[in-house]
Amino acid sequence: MAPSVLTAQRGRYAWDWTDWAAHLYLLAGVVLMFGPIAWLGLSSLKSETGLNLFPPTFLPYEQATVDAGERGKLRLFKVTEGDHQGETLAELRRIGRQAQLIDPAHPETIIRRPGAAREPVMQVRAAVENYSGLFSQFNFLRYFWNSGFITVVATLLTLLVNSMAAFGLSKYRFQGREPVFLLMLATLMIPPTIVLVPNYLIATELGLTNSLWGVIWPAVATPTGVFLLRQYMLTLPDELIEAARMDNASEWRIYWRIILPLSAPALAVLAIFSVMWRWNEFLWPMVVLSRSEVYTLPLALNSFQGELTTQWNYLLAMTVVTLVPITVIFAILQKHITQGIASAGVK
Amino acid sequence: MFRSLIAATLALAAGLSAAQAADIRVACYSDGNECEATAELSARFMKENPDINVVIDKMAYTAILESLPVQLAGGNGPDVARVTLFGTVAKYFLDLTPYLKDPAYWETNFGGSLSWMRKDAADKGIYGLATQMTVTGPIVNKSLFDQASVAIPGPKATWDDWAAAAQKVAKATGTPYGMAWDRSGHRFAGPAISYGAKYFNADGSLAVVDDGFKAMATRLIGWANDGTFEKDVWASAGGGSYRDAFNEFANGKIAVYLSGSWQVTRLQKQIGDAFDWVVAGNPCGPAACSGMPGGAGFVAFKGTKHPKEVARWLEWLASAPVYAEWMSMTSNIPGHAGLQKGGVTYHLTPAGNAAIKAFSANAPAISPVAYKLVGSPLSGSIYTASAERISQAMSGQITTDQAFARVTQDLADAAAAARK
Amino acid sequence: MTPLTTLFGVVMNLPERPMRWAQGRLREGRLGWVFVAPNLAVFALFSFLPVAIDIYYALTGGTALLPSERPYVGAENFSSLLVCDNYFDADSCRRDVFWHGIWNTLRFVVFQVGLMLSLSLVTALVLNRKIIGRGFFRAAFFYPVLLSPVVVALIWKWILQREGVLNAGFASVGAAPVNWLLDANWAFFWSVFVSIWAHMGFYTLILLAGLQAIPAEVHEAASMDATPPFRHFRKITLPLLMPNLLVVLVLGLIRAVQMFDEVYVLTGGGPGTATTFIVQYIYKTGFADQVRQYGLAAAASLLLAFVLLGLTLVQLKGMRRGA
């Protein structure tokens, strides 16, 4: 890497080669990061047939058609050899190896050609029916509301519960503090797959199955959240708390009037993670929510996957639709994180 | 704050569980439009039976496979579910016999699939309704055969003949591979049975790796290594994961594709008239010319509060006219013996119609071993072990003999665990 | 003040009185417990209790899911996992896939964490410069983190399949197509690559936060002394960044050990067992197989947790020394 890249010297006016290298690196990174996602977006506009085409096309293509009155919509072909070479004709029908074609301008003459001597005329067409089909096929707004409710409520609770724990663990000295912190961290090590069944049995006992709260409650205590917030709160000076205690502020007040606002950057980071986790969560909701009125978007999305076949066109469209809200939230929160981090850096 | 949230929780939970008198919850998955078609028909049923409310919850197949057993164990399962590996949830099945008006009709027409849902030969219960029957068979890119001037092998041709023909076509037409099979131990079982695999001892215990199994596995690995068979589909995945070779076939990259009757709608839609395709009879071996049967079914669970209503709904769906309409809507082969003889009118293209007919015609040649395998409570484990271990050998990670030993061991473990 | 913030203020003031009451009664230390309690309660219910149930599962056999229906088998599940002729040759083990999973996971952790840490650090350093459109670049690198693992895997599967976008690109410049997922080494490479692609933004963000928290005066002082850049980086930036680096290391390690969804959907663990990781074995044994050997899956995950716990303790020791 370039030497001055390592030291972040700012305020110079002339661009040296390290600036070029840095921008080049970032541009390449953006292509790598966004390329696949852009491709996802374009693919979601392809028809089922277009999606499975080898080699894959970049834009959504579809065979061009022409309206031939009472004969309905006919597909267009370009003749590749023989008498009508180079002409664009509409196919009437195909019998064995013979194709019957007509010239759209002179529909009365039927031209017979070998089937192999023609190739389809392709045109760009966005398969918007992938999207409109979603809305007509199922109760999209319901799923959207369910996902949104879980995401918002779980995130608020996560922020509250985790920050309280982080406050307790960073600003109080008590016996068992270290073991409790380690114990909480240790839950990071439990792969979600393995606690699925016991968790389901517990949720059943608590009457949480087929309820949105069944997804929310297990999610509000996150080891990552406690860890991030605790590390951040450790950097806040204890003198602030001492001063507040002198002013006879209650401990709760210290927590939520002093520590919480100061932890805003860390909270913003946790908020965005919580939103992301809950919005995308699949495995646990799949087990705990089995009725369509409580489905979340990822559950609805995955219902396009069967045993033997998957309806990719709908699945991709649904993926894009699911991505939109989280992208918007990210775009908004991202700014706050930036500012939060910047202000934290000035201190 | 906490208390008010818990109160809200309880209120919400109560609101959701306040079910109506006869709600039937159906956990369903679709490979095409099965759930949608069922919902459409059920709407008509509910008009005729206003006291019953059928709710179809469409979910991912993985949800049925993985979550359903957990939900049933916890006592929160649905009333009915569309299941294909019946053994996984068999202990929760509800015997519908006492609630059915005409159990004999079920025995006569759905006998084959009913036996798959039963625990053993002594079990006479009626546990559910087949949502379709599937039959495996080779799908052939006729245009490629024509181009190569190779005749499609006839009804008595063996898998060896087919492999040779497919390879010849691939060479002549510059197609990357001659043949591909879905990555599935179920698909593999058809050819293996044709080559003499028995899968079970006479007493019903497992004996999967026998000479017939070995013969077909060895051939398959050989074809993969000499380029006849598209290795990607099998060797590039791990475990028992299912992969199909549909895209390769639809794009004209393979001449012969072993899959099944569920592909017909997709094939006609995606191939269009890009090339001619036909379904052939299952290739032969020394023992049989067998494909594999299969199919899913709506099964009822003991936990239901409305067994009578469930039975009424299923009986309505099972009645010949409704069932025929259902099969026509989903373009599936009926699991109904009476209707299999041509009682269903399909709305397919000529190629699609011919394909359904050809798949149906493959049904009589299916070996009894194949039916027994599908009905085994360990069928899923057998499929997984075959696909996983044969793929490992195909990719060169282990030897063929090691693969056979592992299949035997995996299944011994599964059988031992299932016994406990 | 909007009604919402007023409401929020009122709600958040509710605990004031009971807390004051508790404050009068409890010593300062005990008050810490009050703040920790809600979090701990949720953990107890949905993490510790399930693990306890899992320990019971690990000691019992059969396929039943209700603990009460399972027969006790003692350490049988553990011992069957540990039978090997040669621990370095997974194929010689009784449970070969489990051992393949262990070795692959170790290999994956080393490559993935090492590479991801370096790339995140470089990216964070670059982003910490005076960059045109920095907000945009930062967001761009972070964006894939928002995608669910299944979506990530599906996107890359389409790119990497034999007739996929990458090979189409190769073909357009006249190069021969490569079967990316059929070759064990390539499949492993792409597993590492895709997981870095999907998670790097998260770690970059944490490191960038650390870099920006370094006061500008520190750098200015150093540049006045004309410290050479590499030395400056090693002696000033790196030590000050250490806490963030450790956070990234711990989280990255744990995530890497638990890697599952992305790779499972991308490669299915193949070819052979080249990308089968330990969690995939657990998942397959306990969930995906028709006969669910749940005890075996629980035993395997307890062994995994044991290893992870050891790793983390070492990490934490290092962190305490660093902090």
**What residue segments make up the domains of chain A, in order of their start?**
3-43, 61-124, 131-346
The answer to whether the Cβ–Cβ distance between C288 and B247 falls below 8 Å is: no
Q: For chain A, give the percent of residues with pLDDT over 90.
A: 29
Least confidently predicted of A8-17, A178-187, B136-145, B401-410: A8-17
The answer to whether the Cβ–Cβ distance between C146 and A330 falls below 8 Å is: yes
- Greater confidence (A117 vs B90) lies with B90
Residue B18 pLDDT level (bands cut at 50, 70, 90) = very low
Give one DSSP letter per residue of B149-187, joined into a string: T-PPP-TT-BHHHHHHHHHHHHHHHT-SEEEEE-B-HHH
How many beta-carbon pairs below 8 A join chains A and C?
Answer: 285
Domain coordinates of chain B in residue numbers? 21-133+295-345, 134-293+364-419
Residue A224 has what pLDDT? 87
- Greater confidence (B61 vs C162) lies with B61
Tell me the pLDDT tens digit for each residue of B299-315.
999 999 999 999 999 99
Neighbours of chain C (3+ CB pairs under 8 A): A, B
Question: Helix (H, G, I), strand (E, B), or coil: what is residue B123?
Answer: coil
The answer to whether the Cβ–Cβ distance between C271 and B253 falls below 8 Å is: no
Residue A336 has what pLDDT? 66
CB atoms within 10 A of CB A31: 12
Q: What value does the mean pLDDT take over residues C79-83?
A: 92
Q: Could you write out the three-class secondary structure of chain A?
A: CCHHHHCCCCCCCCCCHHHHHHHHHHHHHHHHHHHHHHHHHHHCCCCHHHHCCCCCCCCCEEECEEECHHHCEEEEEEECCCCCCCCEEEEEEEECCEEEEEECCEEEEEEEEECCCEEECEEECCCCHHHHHHHHHCCHHHHHHHHHHHHHHHHHHHHHHHHHHHHHHHHCCCCCHHHHHHHHHHHHHCCHHHHHHHHHHHHHHCCCCCCHHHHHHHHCCCHHHHHHHHHHHHCCCHHHHHHHHHCCCCHHHHHHHHHHHHCHHHHHHHHHHHHHHHHHCCHHHHHHCCCHHHCCHHHHHHCCECCCCECHHHHHHHHHHHHHHHHHHHHHHHHHHHHHHHHHHHC
Residue A19 has what pLDDT? 86
Residue B181's contacts (CB-CB under 8 Å, 6 or more residues apart) are B187, B188, B220, B229, B233, B234, B245, B257, B258, B259
Query: Exposed, middle or buried, C226 (CB in 10 Å: 0-12/13-18/19+)?
Result: exposed
Q: Which of residues 154-213 of A touch C (CB under 8 A)?
A: 161-162, 164-165, 167-169, 171-175, 177, 180, 182-191, 193-199, 201-202
Structural contact between residues C64 and B418, judged by C-beta atoms closer than 8 angstroms? no
Peptide bond preceding A55 in cis form (omega within 30 of 0): yes
The answer to whether the Cβ–Cβ distance between B74 and A302 falls below 8 Å is: no
Residue B194 pLDDT level (bands cut at 50, 70, 90) = very high
Domain coordinates of chain C in residue numbers? 88-322
Q: B86-105 burial, b for 16+ CB within 10 Å, e for fewer?
A: bbbbbebbbbbeebbeebeb
Give CATH superfamily name and number for C88-322.
MetI-like (1.10.3720.10)
Which residue of chain B is at minimal alpha-carbon distance from C12? B1
- Specify the fold of B21-133+295-345: D-Maltodextrin-Binding Protein; domain 2 (3.40.190)
Give dist(CA B55, CA A291) in Å, integer.
Answer: 9
- Greater confidence (C59 vs A61) lies with C59
Residue among C126, C219, C293 with most chain A CBs within 10 A, to mutate: C126
Half-sphere exposure in the Cβ direction for B35 (13 Å, CA):
26
Query: Tokens standing for B325?
Result: 């309409």
Q: Which of residues 174-203 of C touch A (CB under 8 A)?
A: 197, 201-202
Does residue B69 register a pLDDT over 60?
A: yes
Residue A187 has what pLDDT? 86
Nearest alpha-carbon partner for A228 in C150, C124, C244:
C244
CA distance C83 to chain A (A): 22
Tell me the pLDDT tens digit for each residue of A271-293.
888 988 999 998 899 999 999 99
Which residue of chain A is at minimal alpha-carbon distance from B63? A286
Contacts of C179 in chain B (CB under 8 A): 232, 236
Residue B321 has what pLDDT? 95
Residue B125 pLDDT level (bands cut at 50, 70, 90) = very high
Strand pairing of A61-63 and A73-79? unpaired
Please name the amino acid found at residue A290: S
What average pLDDT is seen over chain B? 92
Residue C309 pLDDT level (bands cut at 50, 70, 90) = confident
CB atoms within 10 A of CB A77: 22
Which residue of chain A is at minimal alpha-carbon distance from B262? A308
Strand pairing of A65-67 and B23-28? unpaired
Question: Helix (H, G, I), strand (E, B), or coil: what is residue B244?
Answer: coil
Contacts of A95 in chain B (CB under 8 A): none
CA angle, C15 as apex, C9 and C18 as ends, to 5°?
A: 150
Residue C88 pLDDT level (bands cut at 50, 70, 90) = confident
Q: What is the pTM of this model?
A: 0.89
CA distance A3 to chain C (A): 5
CATH 3.10.530.10 assigned to domain B134-293+364-419? The reply is no
Domains B21-133+295-345 and B134-293+364-419 share a fold: yes
Question: How are the residues of chain C apportioned to helix, strand and coil, as percentages rounded to the nearest 5?
Answer: 75, 0, 25
Which residue of chain C is at minimal alpha-carbon distance from B183? C268
Instruction: Domain A61-124: give its CATH architecture.
Output: Roll (2.30)
Tell me the pLDDT tens digit for each residue of A227-249.
888 988 988 899 988 898 888 88
**C229 in contact with A, Cβ within 8 Å:** yes
Give dist(CA C47, CA A199) in Å, integer.
Answer: 8
Q: What value does the mean pLDDT take over residues A204-232?
A: 92
Which residue of chain B is at minimal alpha-carbon distance from A49? B270
The answer to whether the Cβ–Cβ distance between C269 and B241 falls below 8 Å is: yes
Give dist(CA A77, CA A88) in Å, integer.
Answer: 6
ipTM over 0.95: no
Residue among C43, C161, C232 with most chain A CBs within 10 A, to mutate: C43
DSSP structure class, residue B58: E
CA distance A73 to chain B (A): 14
Strand pairing of B134-141 and B277-279? antiparallel
CATH for A131-346, among 3.40.630.30, 1.10.3720.10, 3.40.50.300, 3.30.9.10? 1.10.3720.10
| Conformational region of residue A28, where left means phi above 0, alpha means psi within -120 to 50, and beta covers everything else | alpha
Residue C323 has what pLDDT? 45
Residue A121 has what pLDDT? 82
Q: What value does the mean pLDDT take over residues B212-239?
A: 94
